Amino acid sequence: GSQAVFSMDPPVDLGKPQVVPPGTLNSGSSVYCVQSILGQGAYGIVVKCVRIKDMTTVAVKMIKQRPCFLKLANIEVAALSRLKSLCVDKCNLVKWHRVFMDKGHVCLEFEHLDKSLYEFLKERDRCSLLLKEIRPIIQQLANALNHLKLAGIIHADLKLENVMLVSHEKEPYRVKVIDFGMACKDSEAKIILGLPFTVAIDMWSLAGSSKWSLMEKRWSSNVSVGSATKSTADQGRFLCCFAKN
């Protein structure tokens, strides 16, 4: 079996975030000024920071030091390490810089991105994307999944929340895939519900995300429910076939 990268430090109170704006984080080689909380969940928080030495804005994912969360941290670091050699900008994958420990958390430093596709749809009052808007997103996600397949990695958690717009004002609909906490090597994938757990699961998720981006709340005026549903189903079949080949 694989050896854990991180182990438990002496117990700390993890009931609340260990850093809140305007606190600081220290990696040993860099100090980060925490500006805001970008997201928060059971595993910990994601904070927007300025790396003081070069005044670069970054995102730091802080994972709590609990056994189940440490396992996710180890999985994510292993996947990110395998992807380190890729040109992530061309692969539509989030750029990971480093990992460090501070304030009772495993801290992963990433490039700072704009907002998730889920948040983007919420801001549009859950208005569906037009085909001309979703087409480049699907192409980029297919590109990301193709590079993951070549690297032998299954993302296993592709959803609207894990698709980030890079900078929507400057580069409309340019996206990157984030969150590799559930990723696994395709050689280590298990059988689930009697079916092989392969990269096809990511293609299925892509088809599902595409469907919800089209169907959210209302349809665009030039797409009927029947035609859009059929188009999405056909696209899903194509994506699954692509994953198998």
Could you give all domains of the chain from N- to C-terminal order, each with its CATH number? 24-111 (3.30.200.20), 115-244 (1.10.510.10)
- Kindly name the residue from 157, 186, 202, 234 that is annotated as catalytic: 157
At 234, the amino acid letter reads D
* Among 60, 152, 49, CA closest to 97: 60
Quick check: is 157 catalytic?
Answer: yes
pLDDT exceeding 90 applies to what percent of the chain? 45
Q: How confident is the model at residue 139 (pLDDT cuts 50, 70, 90)?
A: very high
Q: What is the 3-state secondary structure (H, E, C) of 181-224?
A: CCCEEHHHCCEECCEECCCHHHHHHHHHHHHHHHHCCCCCCCCC
Predicted pLDDT at 16: 52
Q: What's the pTM?
A: 0.76
Please compute the mean of the pLDDT values over residues 213-241 and round it to a whole number.
41
User: Which is higher by pLDDT, 182 or 177?
Assistant: 177
Residue 61 assigned to a binding site? yes
Predicted pLDDT at 44: 83
Please compute the mean of the pLDDT values over residues 123-138 and round it to a whole number.
84
Let me know: does 182 contact 75? Beta carbons within 8 Å.
yes
Give the integer Cα–Cα distance in Å for 57 and 86: 22
- Which residues neighbour 140 within 8 Å (Cβ) at sequence distance 6 or greater? 92, 174, 175
Please compute the mean of the pLDDT values over residues 108-125 and round it to a whole number.
92
